[in-house]
Amino acid sequence: MGCKQVNNMTLYPKLILDALATVRYPGTGKNLVEAEMVEDNIRIDGMKVSFSLLFDKPTDPFMKSVIKAAETAILTHVSKEVEIEGNISVKTKQTARPEVGKLLPQVKNIVGISSGKGGVGKSTVSANLAVALAKLGYKVGLLDADIFGPSMPKMFQVEDARPHAENIGGRDLIVPIEKYGIKLLSIGFFVDPDQATLWRGGMASNALKQLIGDAEWGELDYFLIDLPPGTSDIHLTVVQTLAMTGAIVVSTPQAVALADARKGINMFTNDKVNVPILGLVENMAWFTPAELPENKYYIFGKEGAKQLAEEMNVPLLGQIPIVQSICESGDKGTPVALNEDSVTGRAFLQLAASVVRQVDRRNVEQAPTHIVEMHK
């Protein structure tokens, strides 16, 4: 996906998707976006727009009328200047994205990072955990699934990056941006950073499925997903799309944050979602002045997340202190975990080691009996 500015009009993939959401497929009555008939790597070059529509079979009786309706919708709802006629290609779903359960076959562990509420530093923890795992020698991918507030492009200083697509195995796949040894994709690469992102639920889920299933993630030891705060359709989309190894819940020690963290834990462990909790991370656990590294000031309360972990019988994976450098590093695009000599850098390396231990323990527990015996 990309965007170009011509004649004072900027075309974005979302404009095209909005137009296609007005076209209904006669076979089901659903619109093209909702029916997942739009292959998401929409290509934009000036005013020329091209993409593929997915049909179940090459003999679909509605194919021609749907293509014509899609062209008309774009000219009507986007601009009469868009060059679209003849640029909509057709694919059958056999050459489309693999079905759920067969996605990311080369990825060993898929971990969601969540928080019950915003403002607890979940994205900071996600970014630094990814960096720390890479420093420990693991192959790491990071997906910024926070549709409404994508922050990874800024945290990794790649705001101007525009991922491109390559034809791999007969499919056009998005190639992730690489920084600090991490493969990175964010919805923020495909939207205007100065505009509020307003997504219908189905469109947000579709965009996310594309970043998961239509990207060349390759071989990974850890695929981290920075989820939006709270509970939403996005969480369900991820859980229904991927076989997740487990989830990490981030909280601060404050009572209000802990109440929301408890809800987050309950969401993952309820019967419909059923994702194991790998553990809790207590962020902003205490304040430590850089010049007095031994001093701890519990400005948000003491060990609230630790007590919640004990109460809910989940591991406390780590406690991350506040030092001024953590905010400055995030804003500059150099995650603090890059500096192993800093107080916070060491805390993130310890967190990464804890996550590895929990994931390994879970994988052994899930393994067939004969493999478990070998580990004893």
Q: Find the CATH number of the domain harbouring 88.
A: 3.30.300.130
Note whether residue 376 is domain-resident.
Answer: no
* Residue 102 falls inside a structural domain: no
103 φ/ψ sector (left φ>0, alpha ψ -120 to 50, else beta) = beta
Tens of pLDDT, residues 199-252? 565 676 777 888 888 899 999 999 999 987 766 667 677 777 788 899 898 887
Cβ atoms of 348 and 336 within 8 Å: the answer is: yes
The domain tally of the chain equals 2
Q: Exposed, middle or buried, 303 (CB in 10 Å: 0-12/13-18/19+)?
A: middle
- Give the CATH number, domain containing residue 293: 3.40.50.300
**Residue given tokens 């780590």 in the structure block:** 318
User: Is the domain of 83 the same as that of 179?
Assistant: no
CA atoms within 13 A of residue 364's CA, in its CB half-sphere: 11
Q: What is the pLDDT of residue 221?
A: 96
For residues 85 and 215, membership in a common domain is answered with no
In a shared domain, residues 297 and 220: yes
**Is there a single domain that holds both residue 297 and residue 151?**
yes
133-138: Cβ within 8 A, 24+ apart: 133/221, 133/222, 133/224, 133/352, 133/355, 133/356, 134/180, 134/181, 134/182, 135/181, 135/337, 135/338, 135/340, 135/349, 135/352, 136/349, 136/352, 136/353, 136/356, 138/221, 138/222, 138/356
pTM over 0.85: no
338 within domain boundaries: yes
Boundary residue ending a domain (95, 118, 149) = 95
At 62 the pLDDT is 87
C-alpha 225/C-alpha 111 separation (Å) is: 6
| Dmax (CA) of the chain | 73
228: in domain: yes
- Which of 66, 95, 124 is where one domain is finished? 95
Q: What is the pLDDT of residue 196?
A: 57
Tell me: the pLDDT tens digits for 78-108? Answer: 999 999 888 888 887 655 555 555 678 889 9
| Same domain? 241 vs 267 | yes
State the residue range of the domain holding 283: 107-371
Domain boundary among 58, 73, 95: 95
Confidence (pLDDT) at 352: 94
pLDDT score, position 117: 60
- Same domain assignment for residues 240 and 328: yes
Tens-level pLDDT at each residue, the chain (376 residues):
444 444 557 788 889 999 999 999 987 888 999 888 888 678 888 889 999 898 887 778 888 999 999 999 999 999 999 998 888 888 876 555 555 556 788 899 999 998 766 677 788 999 999 999 999 999 999 999 887 778 899 889 998 888 888 887 777 888 999 999 999 999 888 776 666 556 565 676 777 888 888 899 999 999 999 987 766 667 677 777 788 899 898 887 776 667 777 777 877 777 777 888 898 888 887 687 777 777 777 777 677 677 777 777 888 898 888 876 555 555 566 788 888 878 888 889 999 999 999 999 888 877 654 444 545 5
Identify whether 223 is part of a domain. Answer: yes
Residue 329 and residue 198 share a domain: yes
Q: What is the pLDDT of residue 183?
A: 96
Per-residue pLDDT at 77: 92
Task: Please report the pLDDT score of residue 70 as a whole number.
Answer: 93
